[in-house]
Amino acid sequence: MPKRRLCTAGPALAAALALLVPGTAQARPQAPPPLTDERGRALTLHGWNLADKDHRGEDALSGITERHLRDMAGRGFNLARLAVFWDDLEPRPGRYSERYLRKIERILDWAHTYRIRVVVDAHQDVYGPGFGGHRGIPEWATRTDGLPYRPHPDDWFAEYFEPGVQAAFEHLYGDADLRRAQARMWQVLAGRLADHPAVFGYDLINEPMGRLLPGEDLPTAARRVESTRLTPMYRRIAEAIRRVDRKHWLFIEPTPAAGEGIPTGLGRIPDPKVVYAPHFYNAAMEAGRDYDPASGWLERYEAAVVRYPREHRLPVVVGEWGPLNSALPHMGRFYEDALASMGRYASGWASWEWCYGGAYCALDGNGRFQANKERTASPYAAAVAGEVRSASYEAGRYRLEYRARGGGVTEVSVPPGPGGWAVRVSGPVRADAAVVRPGERRTVRVRATGPGAVTVTVLERRTA
C-alpha cells in the first residue's frame, strides 16, 4: 500500500466493478450550478491534496511545510484539500490534542499567506489504525464484533471487504455513542477553525464504505450504503457543525464506487452550503494500466456524476483524481480528456497529491512537475463576477466568456510559462495586465465598468 495514497484499487475493486455493463456514453447533461464566494462570484478551484500519513502523534503533520503551500501558489493553484485524522485529533475518548490543532492552524496560516483556500478533510483509509497501519477513525471507536481482518499487502482496497472492517463501519453508522463522538469531534474541529480566513469548507469523511449484504454486487451495495448510512450520517454531522460554524461549505462524498460511473444513492442534505465532492479514479488505471480512450469510462463517469448534483442543485468539486503512473504512453491524452471533462461539470478539483518524489506526487525530488502533471497548471477563471457562458483551455489558449455585472471584479489565474502569456480583453471592463512575463505567475483582474458581454483570452507566448 503506498503510504501517501488512499485509493489504489487493485484486483478486488477491478473484479467487483467488472459486474458493470459498459454501455454507451450518454448525451452530456446540463452542468450543475457553480460554486460561489461571499460576493456571489462564480468560483473555479484548482489544486492538490496535502496529506502526511507517515507521521502521527507528536510528529503528526510535520511532513507538510510552508514550501508545499508556497510552491502550489507559485504555480497558480488556489486550493488545498488538507487531510486530518481523527485518531490524531482525539487519541483517547474526549481528549483532544491541542498540539494537533495548533499544527493544523499553522498550515492554515501558510495557506492564508499564499491565498490558498483550504478544505479540511476528515480522512480515513480502511477505517483506521485498528486495521494495520491505516489512519483515520481511532482504535477506541473501532468495533469488529470479533470478526476477522486479514491484510492484503498487494491489494489494500480488498481490505475494505474484510468482515471486521465492514462491521466497524456499521457500528460507526449505527451506534449512538459513536455517532455522538463523531459529531462532537467535528464540533471541536469546526469550532476551532471557523474563524480562520484560509478555511473554505469541511469534507465530512473521506471515501466512506460499508457492509455488503449477502448476494449484493458492489454497485447495489454502494447505493444502499449511500442512501441508508451515509445520508443520515451527513445530516447528523452537518447539524453538529452548524452549531459552531454557519458560513463554510460542507463537502459530501459518495462511496469510491462512483469512480466507475455508478450514480450515487445519496439523499438530500438539508443545508444551503453543500458541495458534492466525488473522487475520479478508474480501477484499471489505479492498478497501473494505461488510459484507454476507447473504453468509454470517462464518458460514463461524466454522465453519471452530474445526476445527483443537478437533482439537488449542488456545485461539484472533485476531491481527488490522478493516475498511479502519469508517464505511460496515453497519459497525455488522459490529462487532456480529464481536465476538459471536469471543466464541463465541476467548479474545481484537487489532484492527488502535492509532494516531492513518489508515484502520485505532483513534483519530483528536484521540484519539477512529473510527467504530464504540468498540464494541471493552466490559466483559469478563479472568480467571475457575472454569468459564465463558456470557459476552455486548449493548446496554449484559454478563453473565457461571461456576462458581467456592473462593478464586479473577475480574477483570472495565469501560471508561470516559459514564454509568458498575452492577455486580451473585450467588453465593458478594464484589465490590469496585457502581458504576463516569462516565468511570472499573475492574477489578472478584470473590472467591470457596466453590464455586458466580456471575453478574456490568454495566449501562450512561444519561446524562440
Instruction: Give, as one character, the DSSP assignment of residue 41.
Output: P
Cα distance between residue 342 and residue 337, in whole Å: 9
Q: What is the mean pLDDT of residues 369-387?
A: 97
For the stretch 67-101, pLDDT in tens is 999 999 999 999 999 999 999 999 999 999 999 99
- DSSP-assigned beta bridge partners for residue 456: 400, 425
> Which pLDDT score, from 0 to 100, does residue 406 have?
78
CA 209 centroid distance within chain: 17
For the stretch 167-191, pLDDT in tens is 999 999 999 999 999 999 999 999 9
For the stretch 393-439, pLDDT in tens is 999 999 999 999 878 999 999 999 999 999 999 999 998 778 999 99
Q: Which range (15-24, 172-181, 228-237) has the least confidence?
A: 15-24
Which residue is it, cell 494495520? 132
Q: Between β-strands 249-252 and 199-203, what pairing exists: parallel, antiparallel or unpaired?
A: parallel
**Other CB atoms within 10 A of residue 343 CB:** 18
* Residue pair 141/131 in contact by the 8 Å Cβ criterion: no
Cα distance between residue 55 and residue 86, in whole Å: 14
What's the chain's average pLDDT? 92
* Residue pair 88/124 in contact by the 8 Å Cβ criterion: no
**Other CB atoms within 10 A of residue 173 CB:** 20
Q: Which of these, 222, 297, 292, lies nearest to 256 by C-alpha position?
A: 222
Look at residue 18 and tell me whether its pLDDT is greater than 60. no
Report helix angle 176-193 to 98-113, nearest 10.
Answer: 40
* CATH numbers and ranges of domains, the chain: 11-23+45-377 (3.20.20.80), 378-464 (2.60.40.1180)
Residue 246 has phi, psi (to 5 degrees) of -105, 0
For the stretch 274-283, pLDDT in tens is 999 999 999 8
Look at residue 250 and tell me whether its pLDDT is greater than 80. yes
> Which pLDDT score, from 0 to 100, does residue 287 have?
87
Q: What is the mean pLDDT of residues 51-76?
A: 96
> Which pLDDT score, from 0 to 100, does residue 464 have?
60
For the stretch 291-347, pLDDT in tens is 999 999 999 999 999 999 999 999 999 999 999 999 999 999 999 999 999 999 999
> Which pLDDT score, from 0 to 100, does residue 27 have?
40
Q: What is the mean pLDDT of residues 6-11?
A: 41
Look at residue 30 and tell me whether its pLDDT is greater than 80. no
> Which pLDDT score, from 0 to 100, does residue 294 have?
96
Residue 81 has phi, psi (to 5 degrees) of -100, 110
Q: Which of these, 354, 349, 85, 91, lies nearest to 205 by C-alpha position?
A: 85
Cα distance between residue 354 and residue 201, in whole Å: 19
**Other CB atoms within 10 A of residue 48 CB:** 28
156: confidence class by pLDDT, cuts 50, 70, 90: confident
Look at residue 6 and tell me whether its pLDDT is greater than 60. no
The number of CA neighbours under 13 Å toward the Cβ of 309 is 30
457 CB-near residues (< 8 Å, 6+ apart) = 397, 398, 399, 400, 423, 424, 425
What is the reported pTM? 0.94
162 CB-near residues (< 8 Å, 6+ apart) = 131, 148, 149, 150
Residue 439 has phi, psi (to 5 degrees) of 80, 0
**Percent of all residues in the chain with a pLDDT value above 70, rounded to a whole number:** 94
7: confidence class by pLDDT, cuts 50, 70, 90: very low
Q: What is the DSSP string of 255-317?
A: -GGGGGTPPP-------SSEEE--EE--HHHHTTPPP-GGG-HHHHHHHHHTHHHHHHT--BE
Helix (H, G, I), strand (E, B) or coil at 245: coil
Cα distance between residue 138 and residue 401, in whole Å: 48
Look at residue 44 and tell me whether its pLDDT is greater than 50. yes
Cα distance between residue 238 and residue 446, in whole Å: 36
